[in-house]
Amino acid sequence: MKGKDILREIIGTSGGEFYTPIPKGYKPGKTKYIVITGSVMSGIGKGTISSSLCKCLQDRGLKVEPMKLEAYLNVDSGTLNPFRHGEVFVLDDGYETDLDLGTYERMLDKNLSRDNFVTSGRVYQTIIEKERSGKYLGRDVQFIPHVTGEIKSFVRELAVKSKADIIPIEIGGTVGDYENMFALEALRELHYEEGPENVCFVNITYIMQPNSLGEQKSKAAQLGIKRLIAMGIQPDVIVCRSESKLNDKIREKISLNTNVPMENVVGVHDVSNIYSLPLALRERGFDEKVLQTLELNKKFVSNGNTGLKKWVKETSVSGKGKKLTIGIAGKYTGSSDTYISILKALEHCSFATNHKIGIKWIETTKIEKGDESVEKALKGVDGVIVPGGFGVRGIEGKIAVAKYCREKNIPYLGLCLGFQIALIEIARNVSGLKGANSTEFDPKAKHQVIDILPEQLDIEGLGGNMRLGGKDVEVKPGTITAKTLGNANKIRRRFRHRFECNPEFIETFEKAGVVFSGKAPKVDIMQIFELPKHKFFMASQFHPEFTSRPLKPDPMFLEFVKKAAE
C-alpha cells in the first residue's frame, strides 16, 4: 500500500483516533523528506553534515528546503544565553533561531524563514491557542495524536509553501532525550503515512576512540541506534563520525547490529575544511544512498562532481598571503559558537583575499576590572571587531578597546553594540561629554547618546521588544561606506537591537568628525558611521555577518580585512 493511499484512508476516517491536519494544496509524494537524527552524543557536527547533504542535493538540481525541529520549550531562540546555546541567528523575516540555520543559509546561499525552524515551545503554543478556540472539537488534547499531528502539520506546511523537492529535517539533541521523543514519534508517523518511498531516516552517530585503547569502539553507537529502532524508526543510512578514518570492522559491526546494509554505513572523519565535506560525502555515496531510498536517484543524477570540486577550490586558502590576527573584543569569549557567524564571515574574507586569519579573543571584562591592560590585550592584532551583546558587564572594557583603536589607528569594525560603544567613546573623549553613556547601561546618564528606539518603548516582554530582521539602509553617496558597498544607494541587512544613536546628538557627533554614512529610510535612525581620517573605522547598527556567504563575503568585512592586511 503506497503512502498516498494510507494518507487518503486516514483523512477519510472521521471521528477516529487520527489527527492529521493536511494543508490545502498538499500532494503526498510531491515533496519527499529526509529525517536526520543524532545518537551517542551532541556536538559531533550533525548540523554540518545535514547542511553538506543539502549542498550535495542542491548540486544535483533538487530544490532543497531544510528544517530544524528543536526540542526546547522556548518559542524561539531569542532569549537563550549565548554561553549555553551559542549564537542567536536572525533570519531575514526577523525570526530568531539557533546557529544551525546560519550553517544552512551559508551552505545553500539562500535565505530561510520562520517556517524552517520550529521549537517544541512553538508547537505547544499553537496547540494551546487551538484548544482555547475550540479547534479540537471537544476532544481531550493529547501528545498522540495532537502534538505529533501539529508537528507533522508544520512539516507539510513548509512543503506546500516552499514547493520543495525534498525537505531534510534535522532533529535537535540526541536519541533518548525526553524532550525530543515527540518529534521522533511524529516523524515515525510521517513515515507511516507518507510511505517508505517518501521518507528516508539518516542517523548520525559517534564512534569513540579512547586514548587508552588506541582503537575505535562501536558499542555506544550500536546502543544509540538500537534505542532509535526501539522507538519504531529503522535508519536507512547511518553516518559514523570519528576522529580518524572509519575502519571496515566497525562498519561491519554497525551493519550487523542495526539491520542497515554495509554500503549504507558511511564513515566521516575530521576534516580541516568543512567546505570540502559535501564532496567527501558525495565520493562516499552518501547522497546517492539517500536518493535511492527516496526513488529519486535516476531522476536527479550526479553531475560528475564538477560543481562541488569548484566549490572546494574556491573555499580554500593557499596561505600565500600574510597571516592576519583579528581581535574579537567580547564578553562571551569562552565559546566560539557565540560568535560563529563573525568567524565564518572572516573565513569568507580569507577565501577572497588568500590570507589565513587567526583569532585573538579579547575578554573585555578583564580590561574593565583592571586584570589586563588594553595595550597588552590588543598586542599583535591587525584589526579589532567589537561584536553585539547585551547587558552592562564588560562595557567599559569595550569602550577602552574602541578608544585604543581610534587613537592608535588600528582597523576597527563595530557590529550592533560595537556601533554604540564607539559612539559612546567618541562622545566622551572627542566631544568632551563626560558621563556619556547608553540608557541601557545607565538609565540616568548625564548625556544619553544611545537611547531606546522610539517604536520599542510600548512593547513589553524581553522576547519581543527588539528591532529584528531584514531592513533597508540608505547609503550616503561619496562616503567610504558607499565605495565599500559598490556605490549602492540602498542595501538590506539584518538587525537585532533595542537601542540607537540618540538623534539629539547627531550634530554633536558630526562636529567630532563622525560621518553617518547609512540611515533608515525617512527617519533619523543612524545605521552606519565611519571616521574618514582613520585607516579603517566603520561600525554598523546591523549584523553584516548574518548575510555573508562563502563566495560572497560581506563588503564591510572584506574591506576591514584588506585594511588590516596593509
pLDDT 10s digits, 538-564: 999 999 999 999 999 999 999 999 999
Q: Which residue has the higher pLDDT, 4 or 119?
A: 119
The pLDDT tens digits for 427-469 are 999 999 999 999 999 999 999 999 986 655 554 444 446 789 9
Exposed, middle or buried by CB within 10 Å (0-12, 13-18, 19+), for 81? exposed
Q: By the 8 A CB rule, do 355 and 565 touch? A: yes
Element (H, E) at 451: strand 447-452
So which residues are the catalytic ones?
416, 543, 545
What are the b/e assignments for 203-235, b being 16+ CB within 10 Å?
bbbbbbeeeeeeebebeebbebbeebbeeebbb
Reading the block at residue 234, the C-alpha cell is: 529503522
pLDDT in tens, 66-102: 999 999 899 999 888 777 778 999 999 999 999 999 9
- Between CA 74 and CA 466 the distance in angstroms is 17
Least confident of 46-55, 206-215, 237-246: 206-215
Q: Quote the pLDDT of residue 42.
A: 83
For the segment 389-410, what is each residue's pLDDT rounded down to a tens digit?
Answer: 888 889 999 999 999 999 999 9
Cell (9 digits) for 172 = 535537535
**Confidence at residue 459, expressed as pLDDT on a 0 to 100 scale:** 45
**Residue among 94, 69, 74, 95 nearest 84 (CA):** 74
Question: Under 8 Å CB-to-CB from 345, ≥6 apart: which residues?
Answer: 544, 545, 548, 553, 554, 557
Q: What pLDDT, on a 0 to 100 scale, did the predictor assign at position 45?
A: 86
Of 267, 187, 261, 182, nearest in space to 221 by CA:
267
Q: Can you tell me the mean pLDDT for 531-537?
A: 97
One-letter amino acid at 433 equals: L
Distance between CA atoms of 23 and 1, rounded to whole angstroms?
22
Residue 511 pLDDT exceeds 80 = yes
Domains observed in the chain: 3-314 (3.40.50.300), 324-565 (3.40.50.880)
Banded model confidence at residue 222, pLDDT cuts 50, 70, 90: very high
